[in-house]
Structure 1
Amino acid sequence: MPKIRPSRAAVAPAAGYLAALGLVACAEAPREAADLVLVDGEILTLGATGVVEALAVADGRVSATGTSEEIRMLAGPDTRVVDLGGRTVIPGLTDNHYHGIGGGPGVDLTGARSMADVVDAIAAVALETAPGELIVTNRDWHEGQLAEHRLPYRDDLDGAAPGQPVVVVRGGHEYVLNSAALARWGIDESTPEVPGGRIGRYPDGRLNGELVDRAKDLVTLPAAAPPDPAATLDALAEEYAALNARGLTSIRYPGGPPEQYRAIARLRDAGRLTLRVNYVLRAPRGAGAPPLDEALATWPAMGEGDAWLRVGGAKLGVDGGFEGGLMREPYEEPWGEGGTFHGLQTLPTERYIETVRELHRQGWRVATHAVGDAAIDLVLDGYEAANADAPIDGLRWVIEHGFIPREEHFSRMRALGLSVTAQNHLYVAAPSLVKYWGADRAAWTTPVRAYLDAGIPVSLGTDSPVIPWDPWWMLHHFTTRGTISAGVLDPAQAITREEALRAVTSGYAHLTFEEEEKGTLEVGMAADLIVTAEHVLECEDPCLESMEVDLTLVDGRVVYER
């Protein structure tokens, strides 16, 4: 029978005194009543305790685990008792790469499922927009959700809003412009290519409206009006409440401005933060001194913060996204370039390595966006250069995404003590990736099974809003390799549900140096947990994709209840 395990805080004061009397083995420290107890369930602690029936929470921590009979004894007159009725409890979910819940203002394309839907949505807004006024879409969508599995190009957009400039924003790496928008910014067939960017063309050489990565710099979208500070906090609180409702208790921003960090700090200071945030600052594009020095002067300090909000490092990028990952071998779709397109290097090699070394010298932990295998080559070169200055093993530097690792990468990653953040891009983008890279490379995308087998620490996330933010879609993908419109790709890279749960709980805690505080539901750990409507390990596929959350606790406090 499992024994009650009192919290470390409760035991420690009495333990030394009792040890002096030789009574530790036969005496217990008195315990205060729990704040909340969960009984008659199946609690997956994901720690040495294994599976237990019941759990008690006190002062924001798991204070005891055991049988329902044992844990009920810890309830006092003010204790809330939750009868689970056999339901499952797991540690709270996390997202290792979260930009935001939505795609920003503009024409909403989230519900579009065909090219006609995209055209109709833009046309409807055009009817209400003054002639010549710019129309911009949101970015919370992907062409993989469309029946045609392709982007809306220049000619499609011309039909949606004749004569009006239109910019379709797709994720964080691409714009698509119609003819009026191309003319507005003076972009035509004679415009030279932008280093680190790509100007898309139709097969006949005409511009198709695509501007990828650094080519987006040719367009200057109107700056949004400065948000009202109170409205900013309200919007953040509403956003985090939605995340809580799907079981998220911790998120990590993978490269943002200091202004956003300070807004989250204000929310925390007001007592309104309902999940834990690890915040990584985005290094400037012109990385290297003096732009880096100027940025660092405005940043909070590395490691600043507390258990609710902490600075986790600095983010760099060396290649594009789906449409621009830097590859050793050329893309399958040549875009009129004769099969010589290898993707985009968005930061020159020397500047990247210089920046990594300087960040390391100043005590910053580095995370780098790298999609293609050639990009991973570059990141490892840069990290090894920094390691030669002073060891980084133990600092858990990060490769963000790591879509296409090669076998020889794994030993180099292990030698440097790196972590990899994996996201479920393939779930939505599979048709595009097959078109860009061919079936074999696309199927290998984000091979979590291979990473785990190679001993590389992995955590999981979504890259929202590039990919929808629901963590259960992400768990479904990594445990099945299923996609929304291209079937199952390389099922050999699927991981078990328990492995996925560990990656999204204790794996995340390892990423953020919090493994002593959260990630399991052992005694003494933070009471960040959720109650699910179905058994996460035993329900029948595709149950994870639509899993309901009944209760979410963060720091022992109920932040969502269905």
Structure 2
Amino acid sequence: MKPLHKILFSFVLGAGMFNAQKADLIVTNGKITTMDDKNPEVQAVAIKDNKIFQTGTNAQILKLKGSATKIIDAKGNRVIPGLFDSHLHVIRGGRFYNTELRWDGVKTLKRALEMLKEQAQRTPKGQWVRVIGGWNEYQFEEKRLPTLAEINEATGDVPAFVMYLYGKAWLNKSGLKQLNINGETPNPMQGLIEKDSNGDPTGLLVAEPNAFILYSTLAKLPELTEAEKENSTLQYMTELNRLGVTAVMDAGGGFQNFPDDYGTTDALNKKGKITVRLPYYLFAQKKGSELSDYTKWTGMVDIDDHGHNDHNGIDYHVEGGGENLVSDGADFENFLFPRPELPATMEKSMKEVVSLLVKKRWPFRIHATYNESITRFLTVIEEVNQETPLNGLVWFFDHPETVSEDNMKRIKALNGGIAVQHRMAYQGESFIHRYGKKAALASPPVKKMLEMGIPVGLGTDGTRVASYNPWVALYWITSGKTLGGTQVMAKENALDRKTALSLSTFGGYELIKDYEKGKIKKGYFADLIILDKDYFSVEEEEIKDITSKLTIVDGKVVYGDETYKNVSPAALPVLPEWSPVKYYGGYQTK
């Protein structure tokens, strides 16, 4: 007979081994789209640690229930992998989110102006009312932009800055006074301060087509305290979680300096508070110093170090260089004005930086709106590849609305990828006005990219040049329509809903050769969402209003609506007290 202590040890060991085979969390009763072709739809999924443990029927998966397993009932709702926005500006956007009144999704200009007036009344002295992109006139029933008179009437003596994509902005009278903009203020390069017949500024700032006039004006507005920036960033991430976003490739951005402006997300990551996966790219800021900046950054950062914090496995690390590598390569994104001609110095400065990144094995991404720019960029990359082979290094173009088939062949030959965004949902009418309907119908030629076997990811480019709502992107790429209902993309170029979803899930990850995310499949990271409407069956117009009922990132619930309040983190109070986010939230889905 075994001694009692050995019997007890065997019992404890056996119980431990038994529990080791049990799930931490199980989602049941779902219509679960896995994006796994071998097992496309299941009823339940088990999660262990931060990975998908098993998928199957309720009966199969509930066998994995242990004494500590949490059970979440999907109540027959559609469940999909978490959405991956392959081009978004979260680190910069998060710093300012709580200061911004979002007109994203607002249905009428009347309501937008009411919100502006209400917010002006609660904004304290020393602060501004700001509307920072993510909307256009065609989303409004009135189909027009606000006037300066309407903005001045709504805001009174409170300084206000209202930005329309990256095309123009309106400063009210108080804002002009605060910034000391007067008849003597010169126009910045490729920008216009509109003046009346007396030579006085009207308040309209125009990008012609360089958005520097908008960037630089924004940079003069007051910032939040560090505690408020942390709160602001968390509020923005929660808003993304509400829309089903579980991961983002951050594309840097103008006036987003490394490492100085990354302190907020650095601090949140160390505390384990980040709720979206956040690999980020470093964006050159100063013309003439790009090579020295990238030389410094490649010396500071180990690009292969994807080390996590002590709390979870959520990605937060430098992924590479871009989206703007050199100032000479900026072809902007403003279809209100003609395509800019890149300077003759572009090739030299671009080649220096790309050569450095390839030698250091840093992935890179390049902002490229126009085919003419892409032709020249590709010549540079081809020359670098001859001298220092890419050898499978991750690289891709962002945006390329007008890329040609010939250039797509060159991209394919260099094993490059393409990240597309829904900028045409916001600027489609402007594009048609300038370049014609025929040119718009294949801008960008997404279906051809996929037919050619080029990796393609879908994103938004929020928060300024478009909204951060990924469902607007999925609406645009499946319907071919702008926010205003204009058929901007040919039906034959639009994608079916499952293919479109693949670009927002595992397809986006394939851009960066990450093959462990974007599917609800055994061994994949556990990022998934329960939808409030069935993406695969709702009417076309309803797609852009879909939200998440429950969002899981890295195996943990990070967001839940009222239905799932008991299993979700408590809502974080908004700081500061006067923040528009406290009163309106973000994207207006109702």
Q: Normalising to structure 2: TM-score of the pair? A: 0.75
Query: Alpha-carbon deviation of 1:450?
Result: 2.0
Residues 483/184 of structure 1: CA separation in 2 closer, same or farther (3 Å cut) = same
Counterpart for residue 286 of structure 1: 287
Query: Alpha-carbon deviation of 1:530?
Result: 1.2
Q: Deviations over 1:417-458 (max 9, x none)?
A: 111111111222222222232222233222321211221111
Query: Alpha-carbon deviation of 1:238?
Result: 1.9
Q: Is 1:91 aligned to 2:81, yes or no? A: yes
- Counterparts of 1:504 and 1:424 in 2: how far apart (Å)? 12
Q: Is 1:323 aligned to 2:334, yes or no? A: yes
Q: Is 1:243 aligned to 2:240, yes or no? A: yes
Residues 221/80 of structure 1: CA separation in 2 closer, same or farther (3 Å cut) = closer
Residues 497/234 of structure 1: CA separation in 2 closer, same or farther (3 Å cut) = same
Q: Deviations over 1:392-438 (max 9, x none)?
A: 25212010111111111111010111111111112222222222322
Q: Deviations over 1:328-377 (max 9, x none)?
A: xxxxx7x7xxxxx4335388343223222233233322111111111221
Query: Alpha-carbon deviation of 1:45?
Result: 1.6
Q: Which shifted more, 416-425 or 536-545?
A: 536-545
Counterpart for residue 59 of structure 2: 69
The one-letter code of the counterpart of 1:274 is T
Alignment check: 8 A CA contact 2:277 2:316 kept: yes
- Counterparts of 1:79 and 1:356 in 2: how far apart (Å)? 49
Correspondent of 2:409 among 408, 411, 420: 411
- Counterparts of 2:223 and 2:419 in 1: how far apart (Å)? 32
Counterpart for residue 475 of structure 2: 476
Q: Is 1:500 aligned to 2:497, yes or no? A: no
Counterpart for residue 365 of structure 1: 363
Counterpart for residue 461 of structure 2: 463
Alignment check: 8 A CA contact 1:112 1:118 kept: yes
Q: Which shifted more, 107-116 or 157-166?
A: 157-166
Counterpart for residue 436 of structure 1: 434
1:50-199 correspondence runs (5 A): 50-100=40-90, 105=99, 137-145=131-139, 168-172=162-166, 174-175=168-169, 181=176, 184=180, 194=189, 197-199=190-192
- Counterparts of 1:493 and 1:148 in 2: how far apart (Å)? 30
Query: Alpha-carbon deviation of 1:148?
Result: 7.0
Q: Is 1:296 aligned to 2:297, yes or no? A: yes
Alignment check: 8 A CA contact 1:88 1:532 kept: yes
Q: Which shifted more, 250-259 or 210-219?
A: 210-219
Query: Alpha-carbon deviation of 1:495?
Result: 0.6
Residues 299/254 of structure 1: CA separation in 2 closer, same or farther (3 Å cut) = farther
Correspondent of 1:35 among 21, 24, 38: 24
Q: Is 1:230 aligned to 2:243, yes or no? A: no
Residues 152/377 of structure 1: CA separation in 2 closer, same or farther (3 Å cut) = farther
Alignment check: 8 A CA contact 2:205 2:213 kept: no
Matched residue SS, 1:78: coil
Q: Which shifted more, 521-530 or 487-496?
A: 487-496
Residues 287/45 of structure 1: CA separation in 2 closer, same or farther (3 Å cut) = farther
- Counterparts of 1:250 and 1:432 in 2: how far apart (Å)? 31
Alignment check: 8 A CA contact 1:319 1:344 kept: no
- Counterparts of 1:298 and 1:187 in 2: how far apart (Å)? 46
Counterpart for residue 380 of structure 2: 382
- Counterparts of 1:67 and 1:146 in 2: how far apart (Å)? 45
Alignment check: 8 A CA contact 2:166 2:333 kept: no
Matched residue SS, 1:444: coil
Residues 186/436 of structure 1: CA separation in 2 closer, same or farther (3 Å cut) = farther
The one-letter code of the counterpart of 1:233 is E
Alignment check: 8 A CA contact 2:241 2:548 kept: no
Q: How many residues align?
A: 517
Counterpart for residue 21 of structure 1: none
The one-letter code of the counterpart of 1:357 is S
Correspondent of 1:447 among 438, 445, 455: 445
Alignment check: 8 A CA contact 2:339 2:370 kept: no
Over the aligned positions, Cα root-mean-square deviation in angstroms equals 4.0
Q: Which shifted more, 256-265 or 550-559?
A: 256-265
- Counterparts of 2:205 and 2:223 in 1: how far apart (Å)? 30
Matched residue SS, 2:278: strand
Alignment check: 8 A CA contact 1:430 1:485 kept: no
Q: Which shifted more, 273-282 or 373-382?
A: 373-382
- Counterparts of 1:561 and 1:219 in 2: how far apart (Å)? 38
1:266-285 correspondence runs (5 A): 266-285=267-286
Alignment check: 8 A CA contact 2:355 2:388 kept: no
Counterpart for residue 35 of structure 2: 46
- Counterparts of 2:56 and 2:154 in 1: how far apart (Å)? 62
Matched residue SS, 1:69: helix
Q: Is 1:313 aligned to 2:330, yes or no? A: no
The one-letter code of the counterpart of 2:334 is E
- Counterparts of 1:459 and 1:245 in 2: how far apart (Å)? 21
- Counterparts of 1:297 and 1:391 in 2: how far apart (Å)? 18
Matched residue SS, 1:499: helix
The one-letter code of the counterpart of 2:522 is V
- Counterparts of 2:52 and 2:191 in 1: how far apart (Å)? 52
Q: Which shifted more, 276-285 or 296-305?
A: 296-305
Counterpart for residue 19 of structure 1: none
Residues 138/289 of structure 1: CA separation in 2 closer, same or farther (3 Å cut) = closer
Query: Alpha-carbon deviation of 1:231?
Result: 2.6
Residues 423/394 of structure 1: CA separation in 2 closer, same or farther (3 Å cut) = same
Alignment check: 8 A CA contact 2:362 2:393 kept: no
Query: Alpha-carbon deviation of 1:64?
Result: 1.4
Matched residue SS, 1:514: coil
- Counterparts of 2:30 and 2:121 in 1: how far apart (Å)? 56
Counterpart for residue 338 of structure 1: none
Q: Deviations over 1:27-77 (max 9, x none)?
A: x99952111122333322212333222221111111112222221111112
Query: Alpha-carbon deviation of 1:525?
Result: 1.1
Query: Alpha-carbon deviation of 1:140?
Result: 3.9
- Kindly, what percent of the aligned residue pairs are identical? 24
Matched residue SS, 2:444: coil
- Counterparts of 2:543 and 2:290 in 1: how far apart (Å)? 47
- Counterparts of 1:210 and 1:476 in 2: how far apart (Å)? 29
Counterpart for residue 549 of structure 1: 548
- Counterparts of 1:134 and 1:552 in 2: how far apart (Å)? 33
The one-letter code of the counterpart of 1:426 is M
Residues 79/442 of structure 1: CA separation in 2 closer, same or farther (3 Å cut) = same
Query: Alpha-carbon deviation of 1:479?
Result: 1.1
Query: Alpha-carbon deviation of 1:481?
Result: 1.1
Matched residue SS, 1:460: strand
- Counterparts of 2:215 and 2:48 in 1: how far apart (Å)? 56
- Counterparts of 1:73 and 1:163 in 2: how far apart (Å)? 65
Counterpart for residue 14 of structure 1: none
Query: Alpha-carbon deviation of 1:114?
Result: 7.2
Counterpart for residue 330 of structure 1: none
Counterpart for residue 206 of structure 2: 210
Counterpart for residue 573 of structure 2: none
The one-letter code of the counterpart of 2:349 is R
Matched residue SS, 1:421: strand
The one-letter code of the counterpart of 1:314 is G
